[in-house]
Amino acid sequence: MSAEDLGRRLLREVEEDGLDEILYSLKALSHAGVSPYFGIQALDTLLPFREQGVIPQAQPQPPVEPWSSSAADRPLPDVSARNIISKGPFIEFISAGSGGGKTHLLYYMTTLAILPRTHRGMVLNGKGGAVVVLDTDCRFDIQRLTEVMSHYVISQLESSFSFSQPVNGAQFSTTGKSKVIHDLIQSSLSHIHIFRPWSHTSLLSTVSSLPMYLFHSTSHASINRPLHSIILDSASAFFWQTRTEEDTARLSESRALSTNEVYAALARQLTDLSRTFSCTIVTTSWSLSSTSHTAQGAQSMRSSLTSSWSLLPTLRFGVRRIPVTPFPEATSIEGALAEKGRRASAINVEKFEAWKLGSSSGERLGFIITKAGVNMGVEREDI
């Protein structure tokens, strides 16, 4: 075998990987043994395999020497597998209106995303990442997020060891530990980046400028952290404004992007960001359709957004507050009085659920919102 033939044979055995595949592999290895993406077990288990670190193999292509005359006729490489590999999960939470619990879910997810995995001996199970929030509804409240974070950190401490025990070998008073928690939360909050676009045009402009902002080392404190997620709350904020602009342009016989085209552009930009940063996209939206119910609870809910958007999310969840079951018609006054205390406590505790749309297996997330914070993993219980 000549040296030239040997070289060609060895060249055929070389496996080529794109930079995005290498970075994704490193990310998967760095997260080995750690609950992927959100740290919410009921949610993480619903993610497709390929988005939990299992990397599909691209179809092998016949080797063609770059100097060969047939190289120009070779079809472009199939990048669909690579796009799937590098794109993070896309989650959408839908409710019938405000007060459904969507934003509090975002507070909890943000808490896990920006807190570190450990801090001064405290195991927090955070992701140590950064989060971008596109707050189109102007409802993302930092004060409330701080309360949710504080409640989470304290609950983690109480579940791991007594609050009176030393932290990392140092004995702290209750006041000292409160300061440790306060400083931890304040330092973590520097890794959440909030933008408040005022129109769909402003939203598209903000999304398109995110790479320049995030890659600029002097713009923020998160340059050394991975971007965990981009949160859009909500995608429905400018829907009717866009529809009105479309109708006005039609009446005046002028050219304007249709609502479907606008949402298609937004979907493309978010997908590109997900591939660029290998991050999660989390959005919320409203539903204009009524929710159907069965004996097991709410089942269906349809997003009000366009078809160009509806095919985008990897997972779509309906979210609602669990209603307190009314008294049966045959309930006596004595029976109602006997249930008074239990029902009053049920009314004061706000129970919520999120269920996977399009699934008949009853996959759901239960959570409680209190003044102190958010408690996840609560079993559904009709009262």
Which DSSP helix (H) or strand (E) runs through 172? Answer: none
**Within a domain: 227:** yes
Q: Measured in whole angstroms, how far is the alpha carbon of residue 260 from the centre of its chain?
A: 23
The answer to whether 129 and 225 have CB atoms below 8 angstroms apart is yes
29 is a domain residue: no
Who contacts 6 (Cβ-Cβ below 8 Å, separation ≥6)? none
pLDDT one-digit tens code per residue, 165-178: 555 544 556 677 88
pLDDT digits (tens, 9 = 90+) for 299-326: 567 777 888 887 778 889 999 988 766 6
Instruction: Return the higher-pLDDT residue of 140 and 68.
Output: 140
Query: Residue 287: pLDDT above 50?
Result: yes
Report the CATH number that the domain containing residue 238 is assigned in CATH.
Answer: 3.40.50
Asked if the structure places residue 280 within a domain, the reply is yes
User: Could you give the number of structural domains in the chain?
Assistant: 1
Is residue 58 included in any domain, yes or no? no
In a domain, 14, yes or no: no
Look at residues 225, 260, 221, 264 and name the one whose alpha carbon lies nearest to residue 243. 260
What span, in angstroms and rounded, lies between the C-alpha atoms of 41 and 35?
7
Question: End-to-end CA distance of the chain, in Å?
Answer: 81
- On whether residue 93 sits in a domain, the answer given is yes
What pLDDT digit, counting tens, does each position of 81-139 carry?
Answer: 333 345 678 999 999 877 889 999 999 999 999 999 999 888 899 999 999 999 999 99
Contact residues for 35 (Cβ-Cβ < 8 A; gap 6+): 41, 44, 125
pTM, 2 dp: 0.75
**Over 90: is that where the pLDDT of 4 sits?**
no
Top pLDDT among 327 and 274 is at: 274
Is residue 16 assigned to a domain? no
Strand partners, 121: none
Report yes or no on 329 lying in a domain: no
Look over the chain and give the mean of its residue pLDDT values, rounded to a whole number.
76
Q: Alpha-carbon distance 383 to 366, whole Å?
A: 15
Q: What kind and span of H or E run contains 368?
A: strand 364-369
Q: What is the DSSP-derived secondary structure letter of residue 329? A: T
Q: H-type helices in the chain, by residue range?
A: 3-12, 19-30, 41-44, 80-86, 102-114, 142-160, 174-189, 200-214, 239-251, 259-277, 307-310, 333-338, 340-348
pLDDT at 198 over 80: yes
Report the SS3 class of residue 352: strand
Rounded to an integer, what is the distance from CA 103 to the centroid of its chain? 11
Full residue range of the structural domain in which residue 282 is found: 40-53+77-314
